[in-house]
Amino acid sequence: MPVFQALRLGQVSSFPVPSEQPGLAAPSGREPGGCYDVVGIGNALVDIVAVIEESELALYGQPKGTMALVDSEPADAIYAKARHLSSTSGGSAANTMVGLAALGARCAFMGRVANDSLGELFASDLAKAGVEFLSFPGGQDSSPLSTGRCLVLVTPDAERTMLTHLGAAAHLRKEDLDMGALSRARFAYLEGYLWDLPEAKDALRVAAARTHQAGGQVVLTLSDPFCVERHRSELLELVSDGVDVLLANEAEICLLVKAHSFEDAVKEVKGLGVRCGGLTRGAQGSVVVFEDEALAVPALACEEVVDTTGAGDLYAAGFLYGLTIGADPETCGRLGSLCAGEVISHLGARPLTPLGQLAREAGLLF
């Protein structure tokens, strides 16, 4: 049976396909507590975007294009000297949920924020984007920790380097999960960054088990090459035993399967036991892996690449939306490319143009 057909059978297919809604507003007529197309679990962060010159990057001591965790005091010093251009709710999984909501999916997000102004900003932004925020307790963390922040340094070549202080986000535990929501989700989306946090790692395992028990599908995004290097064996175990859909970029997947080339990595993915995968290659597009097939999908032509922040997150949004509506592999990959192409055309990790409208204009949605 074709994998994309199998993803639409069983209990997963008992949920209604979402109606297409233009723009970023929440789909109308939907009440909290219903069924979800996708529930995301990840770091709840506020992104602070700053444009810097190439020569300034060395002052931060971080390799270009990577993400590093910093403590609260260094974080305060870094944010003080950066030229802040914008602040918005962020985090990899949250970005993906916003993209999915923009396409018309019913989404929710689980993560922890503090009872502070950044926590309020995070919750407000998600609500405006049409994503339900299922945080603990009652949407706010009661500890004295601050809400997590990610300083996104964008250089003229559009590469982004991230310095992250997790704050309250680092304290996500299995007790914080909304098990009812996971039981009503067609897909649970797990953010690989959480694998650096022991309690959050346990929470992801519990979330995957609950989702499968209820007949849903588990999606894992590998998030970061360094994260893969640190936890390769555990991630391989998770992928082999509990992941239905795997999303990764070229560097991440090559590290996971210890391949010397992308082509070799694609062959290895076919043997991991996942039902399908979306593997991105930047300007070279992506490869969608399903059954014994590997389909190359070109990247969307972009007049100017301004900021690559969120490209992988929005590719995931388009790819997953294709799965929720029962699209074929090529359409899933093209939806991913379209969403990624939109977000790299401007600063920030959230779409500025209605994704549903773009997809219809491209003939991908009707």
Lowest-pLDDT range, 10-24, 255-269, 351-365? 10-24
154 in Cβ contact with 163 (< 8 Å): no
Say how many C-beta atoms besides its own lie within 10 A of residue 120's C-beta. Answer: 15
The whole-number average pLDDT for the span 327-335 is 96
CA angle 20, 23, 26 (to 5 degrees): 75
Which two three-digit tokens encode residue 80?
A: 């003080």
pLDDT (0 to 100) of residue 19 = 32
Residue among 291, 275, 233, 284 nearest 257 (CA): 233
Could you give the strand order of the β-sheet that contains 293-297, starting from the edge strand earlier in sequence? Answer: 131-133, 107-110, 36-41, 185-191, 217-221, 245-249, 276-280, 286-290, 293-297
Q: How far is CA 192 from CA 58, 226, 232, 295, in A?
A: 27, 11, 11, 24
Tokens encoding 357: 């409208």
Q: How does residue 3 score in pLDDT terms, banded at 50, 70 and 90? A: very low
Distance of CA 327 to the CA centre of its chain: 20
State residue 358's pLDDT score: 92
Classified as helix, coil or strand, 153 is: strand
Please report which confidence band the pLDDT of residue 33 belongs to, taking 50, 70 and 90 as the band edges.
low
Domains defined along the chain, listed by start: 3-43+91-145+171-361 (3.40.1190.20)
Quick one: pLDDT band at residue 5, thresholds 50, 70, 90? very low
Structure tokens at 49: 């975007």
Of 11-20, 136-145, 147-156, 222-231, highest mean pLDDT:
222-231
The reported pTM is 0.84
